[in-house]
Structure 1
Amino acid sequence: MKSLMYIFVLALLVSCSTARVTDSWINNDYANYQPNKILIIGLTDNLSGRTLFEEQLKKELSNRGIEAVESYKVFKPTFTSSKQTEEEIDEEIKRLSKDGFDAVLISAVKGVDEKISYSGDDFRTNYYWRRFGRYYYLTQDVYHVNGYYNKYKIYHIEASLYNLKEDNDKSLVWVASYDIIDPKQINKTVTNYVTAITKSLEKHQIIKSN
């Protein structure tokens, strides 16, 4: 589905951690908007991750009375296997609208930060080491202990909901940003991300609370 990168993107990580919402916004023109049929799109090279996400989010939306369909059941392999022009994507959007879809969920990884945490004793700020020997003794593990510094990544993800019935600058209904910290397992990552998305949509009353 790389052909859809410029218009609908849902990036899934191949591992897992807590998804934390950092910001969210809703278009005031859609104060009472509630979609009826949403296309869920998972963009990832991990086929199992894509399938898992789309099926989990479909279940959550269905439990709230919204018809939702997984993208792997809608897009033809010939459409997703090669890069499409804007005109070809527009034609696909028209087809989706004719099939009754009035919204599409979009998400993209906006950036990845690599962080380093200190794995030794807690950093002390209330005094200075008076002797070099003592300082060196307590700090030398940086040379000798594997994992003295722990590296981890923070994935910044932006999810959006677009109204397919509008083809203008006002078609964006809702957008939210999430941070996923040091992902480890695909099942938990997908579950946490789906939960974070549904909570955001509930908060803005786009979907009903379960």
Structure 2
Amino acid sequence: MRPLRYVVLLASSLLVACSAVTVTNQWKDPTWAGPPVSNVLVLGIAKSDTNRRLFEDTLAEQLHAAGVTAEESYAVIPLGGGSQEKLVELVKNSGAQALLATRVQRVEQKTNEMTSGPAYGRFYSWYGNAWSMSPELTQYDVVTLETSVWDLKTEKVIWSTTTENVSSTNIPQAVRQLASTLIPKLKSDGVIR
């Protein structure tokens, strides 16, 4: 009975670790007439410059693979952004039509509890096993991201979504998962080519 319990626990842990990105909310400005943009500036909001660069490099790479010109904002905008006037000048000089910005909205700790009681049979066997059968707990973080696309001509948000995924220390892999969810939606909504 114990080996089966460990197989179930291992399988549930792997499912949590390999979970896909889930879109929880999505919005597109109904007044935005397009056309779809083909040149995007990618901005990852992060306190860590390394995390920002990893995020932006990976998402820009995924957009390039989808046929969209994308530039990492760290090449254009310094950490923290600077003054508003300087930011406007830097963004305009990039030549981008839109800015795709992603930020962490929240992180929630979740707990999975796997309980398996002793097999019923005779009381004395059950009683002895009941004490040794304690619940197995698995804790993980769920990260909620907000991604917005800004039309740089009007300086207004034209598309926005929130997504959830299990936290990962492998940023490039997590961003590729995010991109595989976002890019098809951006294309089908006519936001990017």
**TM-score normalised by the chain length of structure 2:** 0.73
Provide structure 1 residue ranges, at least 5 long, that are not aligned to the other structure.
1-14, 124-130
Instruction: Give yes or no for the alignment of 1:176 onto 2:161.
Output: yes
Q: 1:31 to 1:137 in 2, by over 3 A?
A: farther
Q: In the alignment, which of 53, 56, 63 is matched to residue 54 of structure 1?
A: 56
AA aligned opposite 1:138: A
AA aligned opposite 1:152: Y
Counterpart Cα distance in 2 of 1:156 and 1:184? 15
How much does 1:177 deviate?
A: 0.8
AA aligned opposite 1:156: T
Q: Report what 1:155 is aligned to.
A: 143
Instruction: Give yes or no for the alignment of 1:194 onto 2:182.
Output: no
Q: Report what 1:91 is aligned to.
A: 86
Q: In the alignment, which of 27, 35, 38 is matched to residue 36 of structure 1?
A: 38
CA RMSD of aligned residues (A): 3.3
Counterpart Cα distance in 1 of 2:20 and 2:93? 37
SS at match of 1:173: strand
SS at match of 2:87: helix
Deviations 1:55-100 (A, max 9, x none): 2322332344432111222124xxx26x74xxx1243123322442
Q: In the alignment, which of 18, 21, 29 is matched to residue 20 of structure 2?
A: 18
**TM-score normalised by the chain length of structure 1:** 0.68
How much does 1:48 deviate?
A: 4.7
SS at match of 1:92: helix
How much does 1:158 deviate?
A: 0.8
How much does 1:188 deviate?
A: 1.9
Kindly indicate whether structure 1 or structure 2 has the higher relative contact order, using CA contacts under 8 Å at least 6 residues apart: 1
Counterpart Cα distance in 1 of 2:59 and 2:94? 20
Q: In the alignment, which of 100, 103, 111 is matched to residue 105 of structure 1?
A: 100
Deviations 1:144-181 (A, max 9, x none): x7xx21111111111000011114xxx11100110012
Higher strand share: 2
AA aligned opposite 1:72: Y
Higher helix share: 2
Counterpart Cα distance in 2 of 1:135 and 1:33? 70
AA aligned opposite 1:19: V
Instruction: Give yes or no for the alignment of 1:119 onto 2:114.
Output: yes
Verify the 8 A CA contact 1:17 1:189 in the aligned structure 2: no
Identical positions, percent:
22
Verify the 8 A CA contact 2:26 2:161 in the aligned structure 1: yes
Instruction: Give yes or no for the alignment of 1:138 onto 2:126.
Output: no
Instruction: Give yes or no for the alignment of 1:206 onto 2:191.
Output: yes
Verify the 8 A CA contact 1:23 1:178 in the aligned structure 2: yes
